[in-house]
Structure 1
Amino acid sequence: MPSRRTFLGTTGLAFLGLQNYATARTETRLIAPFGPLLADPAKILDLPEGFSYRVLATRGEPMSDGYKVPGAPDGMAAFPGPDGKVVLVCNHELGLAQTAMGPFTDNTRLPDGFDPALAYNPGTEGRNPALGGTTNLVFDPATGTKTAHFLSLFGTDRNCAGGKVGDTWITCEEPDDMLTTRGKLHGWCYAVHATSTPGLQQPAPLKALGRFRHEAVALDPKTGILYLTEDRDDGLLYRFLPETRGDFTKGKLQALAVINRPSCHLRNFHATTNWPVPGQPFQVTWIDLDDIEAPKDDLRVRGHEADAAAFPRSEGIHLADGAFYICCTNGGPHKLGQIFRLDPSGDPAKPDTLQLFLQPEASDLLTNGDNLCPAPWGGIVICEDLVAEPKPGEKKPAAHVRCVTPQGKIITLARNPADGEFAGCCFSPDGKWFFVNLQTRGLTLAVTGPWDKAIA
């Protein structure tokens, strides 16, 4: 793999390769190993020639357990299942008021016969149950079809992203309202097993991971440390050190702080600071946090006052090529997004290294990155959210799925011809199927094709 490089394109996209800390600069390179995108006659997903997609799930259709597919599919992961099957565990980012997209015929109450103990928040007098949660979808890669689909977690609030930890998906709540109890406080993480057997799992909040507007998590398999993002304009980057490896019910929650820059903000307001500089590594440490259940929704505020760094809407986080990549959807001077790279030292007591890895500035190459995942051929695959509003008179661009390769090249994998973000990108364990959600349209898709062209 080549040494780390910085690519500065004429469009203003700064890209830093995936290794070492070399300082060579060259022009951003767009490549199309799969060929150009072709318009989909069904207007669902534009793909290169030779690729095809299957619609695995559509909001509102019946599932195996008799419930309906919930809307707003978001973060997702693929797990190996029995008999060569793949189990997809998918979040549904549904808030309390989104009763038109819940899993029941009448989402203002639990259906008859539903055990309230299987809903984290079953609702209180005059309030409907919390409608967020997860579904498990069993996919047969040999036939390209699903064999089962069912609710696996229910009664949580706006399950946005999460992370794969062994054979378990940790799903994260991102409530709109962190202060109203609505019977129970929300803002937790929950463990969901990637089972292929239909049935709801007992919702148990992992309160040791803190209460805030969670977005995603990623595990360092070398140390057992869990990293967590927070989807706020002034959110923090957290890590959890478990007392016992693999047990996320007891341990220490910390927040990242930049050495010699206490309480800094990492958005990179060029007009005032011109920092952080793309490609320039800097050392970071971690500070202990207290009162982590934060009923006042002030964990990030107290952490920032105690020297922690603020990140501009940190969303997806994933381990790839030995480092953690973090998408900050609103980062950069034009709020087009940033991606940071965190290189752990391997010793929780020693400083880690952070760098601004990629920052689009006046570019249509990558805009408002959100969920991300490793690519089977190396590098990272990024879902675009497109939260930035277009300039007056300009049409809002279509969202894409992009790949940044280990060689510092950008590939466009797919385009959404309709409005709405991509979410939940992940590959099957054998790398032959790519799964992704169209959140606004409530679709889960499976894509296959000649992926090996990426490394040809």
Structure 2
Amino acid sequence: MDRRIFLRSALVGAGVAAFSGAVWETALAAPAQPGAGPYGPLAAAADGNGVLLPSGFTSRILARTNQVVAGTGYRWHGAPDGGACFPNGSGWMYVSNCELPLAGGASVLRFDASGTIISAQRLLSGTSGNCAGGPTPWGTWLSCEEHALGRVWETYPATGASAVARTAMGRFTHEAAACDPVRQVVYLTEDKSDGCFYRFRPNTWGDLSSGTLEVLCGPTDSTSGTATWQRVPNPTSLLRPTRRQVSAAKHFDGGEGCYYANGLVWWTTKGDNRVWKLDCATDAYELAYDDSLVTSGTAPLTGVDNITGSRSGDLFVAEDGGNLEICVITPDGVVAPFLRLAGHEGSEITGPAFSPDGSRLYFSSQRGTSDNSFAGMTFEVKGPFRV
């Protein structure tokens, strides 16, 4: 029997209830279902920038690959991917990775208090396939290389200081990172069909130069349970992949985005269109979304990729595939489209991140309307986001 039919039938047969409660911490263990989103339906037609948005929201294009960013002398990088925002004096910054092979890296856009771009700069060059990553509580950006011997690079958006490779965090097909300041660990995803989910415990919080890499362990076919963690014996091995060093490791189908908030960490797996949730205090894990468990209608979210969250607790998940949307998953278990790109069918949406005050959402179309890594576009959406 097809996996999707089996799982959908199992959910209905078990009579699993939908999420209840207003916050994720008290939500019941049932994957999100389609419903009316908190921002209403998308407009019938795209705006002048090719973005379909709910009423009250507007978009602007901030940067295009190989074109000079307005107000600066900097040409924006190709294949923009993972991103994050940071406060910067009275303004803020948006960092974006470059996923080009052998010519990867990361760049930053800096804004004043009004949202005007005041500078742009390259933060990292000469790396390869910098896909996603994650911000740290101390204001650096972890840029992750997506190849077999990929490294995590710590970059410095505020100063532009030279990036540093953090090899103690493992050499593998890195995708994303999310910091848990309470337990003082960094969670890491791996973009392989049999990839793993890791956590790095630095010897000193705020210093990623040394520490212990651990892998989440549990039955590979389980969708809920309590995880255990085991140390990866040789995180920097060039011969034996980290995902194969611990026999009890739980494997995930294509780890993608990763996001932490309020004691919970979420990550996505594109191979099976799932969003996972881990309670960091108890190590209990479960599904927050699975397109095969949608019980009525068509799954609104497929090709799950990068993920971020808003102040209200809503998750925003970008699609690599599907119909090029960013979908919202609310704490009470509703999943719905928030925006859609028109004419970008050969691209993917990358790097969703909110400004520090939560009023603006940034993201990129990696290959733009030309299905070309040198046609990327980076956007800003402004409007009445829930806080």
Q: TM-score, normalised by structure 2?
A: 0.85
CA contact (8 A) 2:19 2:27 kept: no
Instruction: Give the Cα separation in 2 of the matches to 1:14 and 1:325.
Output: 21
Instruction: Give the Cα separation in 2 of the matches to 1:68 and 1:352.
Output: 44
Query: How many angstroms does 1:25 deviate by?
Result: 9.8
Larger Rg: 1
Query: How many angstroms does 1:170 deviate by?
Result: 0.7
**Corresponding pairs, count:** 356
Instruction: Give the Cα separation in 1 of the matches to 2:31 and 2:288.
Output: 14
Q: Which residue of 1 aligns with 2:312?
A: 377
Alignment of structure 1 residues 414-433 onto 2, 5 Å: 414-418=339-343, 419=345, 420-433=347-360
**What CA deviation, in whole Å up to 9, does each residue of 1:161-191 have, x standing for no partner?**
111102111110002xx3xxxxxxx510011
Q: Which has the higher strand share?
A: 2
Q: Find the partner of 1:288 among 231, 237, 244.
A: 231
CA contact (8 A) 2:123 2:163 kept: no
Name the amino acid aligned to 1:60.
N
RMSD: 2.5
Establish whether residue 252 from structure 1 lines up as the match of residue 241 from structure 2: no
Instruction: Give the Cα separation in 1 of the matches to 2:17 and 2:240.
Output: 35
User: Secondary structure at the residue paired with 1:430?
Assistant: coil
Gaps of 5+ in 2: 1-10, 369-375
CA contact (8 A) 2:29 2:286 kept: no
Name the amino acid aligned to 2:25.
Q
Q: Find the partner of 1:54 among 56, 60, 81.
A: 60
Q: Which residue of 2 aligns with 1:444?
A: 378
CA contact (8 A) 2:31 2:287 kept: no
**What CA deviation, in whole Å up to 9, does each residue of 1:78-100 have, x standing for no partner?**
10112x2111111111113xxxx
Instruction: Give the Cα separation in 1 of the matches to 2:48 and 2:84.
Output: 26
CA contact (8 A) 1:15 1:359 kept: no
CA contact (8 A) 2:29 2:287 kept: no
CA contact (8 A) 1:38 1:49 kept: no
Q: Which residue of 1 aligns with 2:76?
A: 69
**Aligned in 2, Cα 1:54/1:145: closer, same or farther, shift over 3 Å?**
farther
Q: Which residue of 2 aligns with 1:310?
A: 251
Query: How many angstroms does 1:140 deviate by?
Result: 3.0
CA contact (8 A) 1:161 1:172 kept: yes
Instruction: Give the Cα separation in 1 of the matches to 2:31 and 2:214.
Output: 35
Q: Find the partner of 1:408 among 305, 328, 333.
A: 333
Establish whether residue 163 from structure 1 lines up as the match of residue 163 from structure 2: no
Instruction: Give the Cα separation in 2 of the matches to 1:443 and 1:67.
Output: 15
User: Secondary structure at the residue paired with 2:204?
Assistant: coil
**Aligned in 2, Cα 1:32/1:357: closer, same or farther, shift over 3 Å?**
closer
**What CA deviation, in whole Å up to 9, does each residue of 1:125-163 have, x standing for no partner?**
xxxxxx100101012351x43111111111111110111
Name the amino acid aligned to 1:448.
K
**Aligned in 2, Cα 1:312/1:254: closer, same or farther, shift over 3 Å?**
same
Q: Which residue of 1 aligns with 2:104?
A: 132
Q: Which residue of 2 aligns with 1:210?
A: 170
Instruction: Give the Cα separation in 1 of the matches to 2:339 and 2:320.
Output: 13
Instruction: Give the Cα separation in 1 of the matches to 2:197 and 2:32.
Output: 31
Query: How many angstroms does 1:194 deviate by?
Result: 2.0
Alignment of structure 1 residues 124-273 onto 2, 5 Å: 131-142=103-114, 144-166=115-137, 167-175=139-147, 178=148, 186-195=149-158, 199=160, 201-258=161-218, 261=219, 264=220, 266=221
CA contact (8 A) 2:85 2:356 kept: yes
Aligned residues: percent identity? 32
**Aligned in 2, Cα 1:14/1:425: closer, same or farther, shift over 3 Å?**
farther
Q: Find the partner of 1:353 among 259, 263, 284.
A: 284
CA contact (8 A) 2:34 2:336 kept: no
Query: How many angstroms does 1:416 deviate by?
Result: 1.0
Gaps of 5+ in 1: 1-7, 97-130, 179-185, 267-274, 332-336, 346-350, 387-396
Query: How many angstroms does 1:236 deviate by?
Result: 0.7
